Structure 1
Amino acid sequence: MRTTKDRIRHALGFEIIGLLIFAPLASLLFNHKLFDMGLMALVGSIIATVWNYIYNLLFDHVLLKLRGEVRKTTPIRIGHALLFEGGLLLLFLPMIAWHLGITLWEAFVMDIAMASFYLVYAYLYNLAYDRVFPLPFIPQQQAAGQG
């Protein structure tokens, strides 16, 4: 299990490196100023973080009420992910269109590109992070609380 300090380093590194990579790429790809794309990515990151907390809290309360537990099956996890992304899209899409002065369709395409980038980036970042900062070895008995 990672420590709180390690989780904070992981989260900050993810956001900072992601912004440093995404903003210039998006600026080139969508022909908007670097500042505007960086601001959109930063605001998107903040919105996603806040939405993540609120959404997961609400989702768990609904699961508890409907099922009496919060454990998620594979179909529930898929629905959970799709609803999360859909809600994030609804929150962020109008802001992108308004700030950049573009149509909702253009903002949608931009949002899909951003989500696609972060999907690939998250995989690669976490792979690299685990290699640079590996988890300490914990014997299986100790990890299960038996030691």
Structure 2
Amino acid sequence: MNQPPQRSVCERIGHALAFEFIAVATSAPALALLMDKPLVQMGALTLMFSTVAMLWNMLFNYWFDGAQRRLGFHRGLWARLVHASLFELGLIVVLVPLAAWWLSISLLEALVLDIGLILFFLPYTVAFNWIYDVLRARWTGLGGSRSVSQTL
């Protein structure tokens, strides 16, 4: 069985902070430009999104690690696609109403905005977590020198 090592609370926090820092730094300016909104307004929205996503990230990854330990699946491409998809679906439930309220737009417009964000975050989530796992394996000595392409 291919079971991941347990991750500490500190590691989970570091993982989530790195993920969200990169996401906010790239998405706030892009959204401000695309939506013709002030950077401050979009920056505040992305920080709110980030806070929700960070908490969800830690909780969801804890559950996902537990599922992997119980079911013994390998974290190949399909598991990572399922991981990213379920993570993003969970965010939709909270983020669409938040965006509609903050930007004074309809739920449908907020859903369209969220779909646009998902188109960015699905590949970003897969890539970030994959690279993180490869680097973590190298840092901890648990994965040898495998590259991302070798983990397919």
TM-score by structure 2 length?
0.60
Indicate conservation of the 8 Å contact 1:24/1:34, yes or no. yes
Bigger mean CA offset, 14-23 vs 80-89:
80-89
- Segments of structure 2 that go 5 or more residues without pairing to the other structure are 144-152
| Number of residue pairs matched by the alignment | 134
- Segments of structure 1 that go 5 or more residues without pairing to the other structure are 64-68, 141-147
Indicate conservation of the 8 Å contact 1:2/1:135, yes or no. no
Computing the radius of gyration from Cα coordinates, the structure with the larger value is 1
Per the alignment, residue 144 of structure 1 pairs with none
> What amino acid does structure 2 have at the position aligned with 1:23?
A
Aligned equivalent of 1:51, options 52, 56, 63: 56
Aligned equivalent of 2:138, options 135, 139, 142: 135
Counting aligned pairs with the same residue, the percent is 36
Aligned equivalent of 1:98, options 95, 98, 101: 101
CA distance in 1, matches of 2:58, 2:131: 25
> What amino acid does structure 1 have at the position aligned with 2:49?
G
Classify the secondary structure of the residue corresponding to 2:51: helix
Alignment of 1:7-86 (within 5 A): 9-54=14-59, 70-71=70-71, 82-86=85-89
CA distance in 1, matches of 2:90, 2:136: 33
TM-score by structure 1 length?
0.61
Cα 1:60–1:50 shift into 2, 3 Å = same
CA distance in 1, matches of 2:53, 2:61: 12
